[in-house]
Chains A and B, each alone.
Chain A
């Protein structure tokens, strides 16, 4: 079965299945979502209007047995940043879409009136139904209801009330193998889905397998790849402690933004660290390791239970823990876990929302450290869409504007995540130049600046940072197109058998003859395509800047400022 583009038009409720045009045949994941958005969406359109398109694409290797290849890319013009956006997530959807022969699911137009719909993706196309019962409900209820209506095995992609209200912090949930949630977190893509009137997308299970051009070569390569991942030392730490293992090391390096980016270390770091989480999960009978999709050999996810041993949250990430924890000075992991659960259910980005709450703390709306009040705001203001809830739901930049705060950590209106750019200068270059707004995953220099993966570049010196960020952003754009989870990058950086095995799998799957350089040039092409979209949307080099306070205020303990010149930042694009 050849892979096709499934196109759903919500203006006239029509569905078309199209052969994939040849220029997109070699693309998947981010490469494909960004190419479709760049070629079909007017960069100047309103992100929540009928001209925007929401595109889902499994990676090139999703649906195969390749380890960690089940990531789903989602793209559109972002209502938060106004830039192009790709956000990827785990869960079962990518593998299921790929097996249905769906190379991309494109949702376009906008329905008339206030009606809500569901989509059901089948091997023969997409069935559009009106939806009433689940309107206003949270993501957990949607996943459960689809399970009851259609059965356990259906994949589910959904939005919560925040997406329905078209909040710029709204995310898109994807059901994981155990009925829990993973998210396309950043950039407000949930609001775009809401603007299309789509409450959820159910994906029919299938027995189809992916056709592989050279099965023998594929299984050789995929074995080598899985082995390289499994034996990389980072894998052990991620499996035991999750990504939250980073709290202590980033804190020690003086780069853990605390108290709305006024400190580089958080007093309560120990109580929110991966080590503490690990102990607590074991005590309470949770699961220390867990994969967000079948075939993950790293298993950075976990199941975190409350004091009574009842499920509280999973996929409890460093970024989320940092944002509600260190940034808002909340040092109680249980409160942070409860917030995480609530935010997943309401359908909002944990980073953007928590950083917005940190900005509100700075404005004196609530006290730093008041986790209970933060929970109340989530439950009673954001989930219900009160005027204050909608300010927080507009993201950190909107919150800063509403309350006259000058220390607002955003780039292109997207909240800066869990590494202070003054103390890790490489990541500052990534925040400034990423086509997505402030996004750590776009070019994760922490690997080299802090974790000694792929060498070491001194985090406090400007030396080598632009080049480091550029190389990583190019490589990441390519990896994001394969369907591979970004944590494969640690092995790719350190183990020379890993990248060739990855390229080999792509070749064996499609019968192509790509070399490693082709993959790099693919990454460069994707970045340029995205950058070009942003330029056409009206962005200029002046938008590739960090907020002024980073250059004015010293960050303890190293007492460092952001000190790159504009020309130095702009040289990022010299490739």
Chain B
């Protein structure tokens, strides 16, 4: 297993959490983690691993931080 930190933002926090450590099997993709959290794929706007944008197929490594955002805008 790999231990990673998952952070959620905006309405994705509702009924879930702000930040939590999770143990995932090696080779688990970002898309799979999103699914495990019960988040609809099309609610997700941006994902970052260690502050870098990543694709749904990216695989977080031991100790990584995965941040999941809905589509947001502003400026």
Contact = CB atoms under 8 A, between A and B. Distances in A.
B9 A249 contact: yes
Contacts of A558: 51
Contact of A444 (B11, B70, B75): B75
Q: Count chain A CB atoms within 10 A of each CB in B7, B45, B73, B75 and give the residue with the most.
A: B73
Given A249-B46, A253-B51, A456-B53, A274 B71 contact: no
A487 interface: yes
A66 interface: no
B45 A451 contact: yes
A301 to B, nearest CB: 11
Interface string A227-252: 00000011011101111111011001
Contact of B75 (A241, A275, A440): A440
Nearest to A419: B75
A450 B74 CA distance: 11
Nearest to A234: B73
A32 interface: no
Contacts of B70: 233, 236-237
A487 B74 contact: yes
Interface in B45-75: 45-46, 48, 51-53, 67, 69-75
Contacts of A440: 75
Q: Count chain A CB atoms within 10 A of each CB in B10, B45, B72 and give the residue with the most.
A: B72
Nearest to A318: B74
A487 B75 contact: yes
A237 B73 contact: yes
A420 to B, nearest CB: 13
Q: Taking chain B's interface residues, is the majority helix, strand, or loop, or is none over half, making it mixed?
A: mixed
B13 interface: yes
Given A275-B9, A452-B45, A246 B74 contact: yes
Nearest to B47: A452
A276 to B, nearest CB: 11
A466 B32 CA distance: 35
A451 B46 CA distance: 7
Contacts of A241: 10, 72
Contacts of B75: 243, 246, 318-319, 440-441, 444, 446-447, 486-487
A274 B45 CA distance: 17
Interface in A253-273: 253-254
Interface in B1-32: 7, 9-11, 13
A458 B53 CA distance: 8
Nearest to A242: B74
B11 to A, nearest CB: 7
Given A233-B45, A252-B48, A254-B51, A246 B9 contact: no
A338 to B, nearest CB: 22
Contacts of B74: 237-238, 242-246, 300, 318, 487
What are the 4 closest A-B residue pairs judged by CB atoms, nearest first?
Answer: A243-B74, A234-B73, A233-B71, A237-B72
18 contacts: A233-B43, A233-B70, A237-B10, A241-B10, A248-B9, A252-B48, A253-B53, A275-B9, A318-B75, A319-B75, A446-B75, A451-B45, A451-B71, A452-B53, A456-B53, A459-B53, A487-B73, A557-B51
Interface of B: 7, 9-11, 13, 43, 45-46, 48, 51-53, 67, 69-75
